[in-house]
Amino acid sequence: MLLHIGALRETSSRLRAATGPAGGYAAMRAPVDPAIVASFLNALESDGALPRTILLTLNPEAHAHLAVLSGSFTHEGSPGHVSLGPAWWWCDHAHGVRDVLEKCAAYGVLYTFPGMTTDSRSILSLARHDWFRRTLCKWVAEKVAAGDFPDDPALLRPLLKNICHRNAKRIFK
């Protein structure tokens, strides 16, 4: 399940009338209230119906809140059962991707981060995934150079493989 949180849709009725419902006129809502998301996820979990869930937000102020919240819904045998998702919409740029990685590393579990997602079935999505992987690898290299991550390929290789491929494969299994 992908929860797209924080989109303020249909911001201009004039532009929507001119371009149609897929015109893309939207904005960013105020940060999400983690208590509301927690209540929703808890209700699903209490009913035994909480699927693997990726929490996506338009508002970067919510990245830390959602990364922490994801830790409340761990399931044995299902790493990253609920996880912070990648930078989305207006956050989908180098600074936004780095912010999500920082928040996931600081407040969540980077090893289970799902990597780049897309709702597009376009061949152009392949270029976006490649760009994400290059941004991720540069960020990790900077962490290694700063001494924040170990300079050990045996530890870094599985992390990068998980984020770039294995975690998504596990989610969609």
User: How far apart are the C-alpha atoms of 134 and 6, rounded to whole Å?
Assistant: 27
User: How far apart are the C-alpha atoms of 167 and 144, rounded to whole Å?
Assistant: 22
pLDDT at 23 over 80: no
Q: Which CATH number belongs to the domain containing residue 60 in this structure? A: 3.20.20.140
User: How far apart are the C-alpha atoms of 82 and 56, rounded to whole Å?
Assistant: 11
Domain count, the chain: 1
Residue 103, domain extent: 2-172
Q: What is the pLDDT of residue 122?
A: 66
User: How far apart are the C-alpha atoms of 48 and 69, rounded to whole Å?
Assistant: 18
Q: What is the pLDDT of residue 120?
A: 61
What band does 1 get if pLDDT is binned at 50, 70 and 90?
Answer: very high
Torsion sign over Cα 153, 150, 68, 130:
negative
CA angle at residue 145 from 126 to 134, to 5 degrees?
5
Q: What is the pLDDT of residues 137-151, one digit of tens each?
A: 999 999 999 999 999
Q: Kindly report the backbone phi and psi dihedral angles of residue 32, in degrees, each rounded to the nearest multiple of 5, phi listed first.
A: -70, 150
Torsion sign over Cα 120, 107, 50, 133:
positive
User: Is this prediction's pTM over 0.95?
Assistant: no
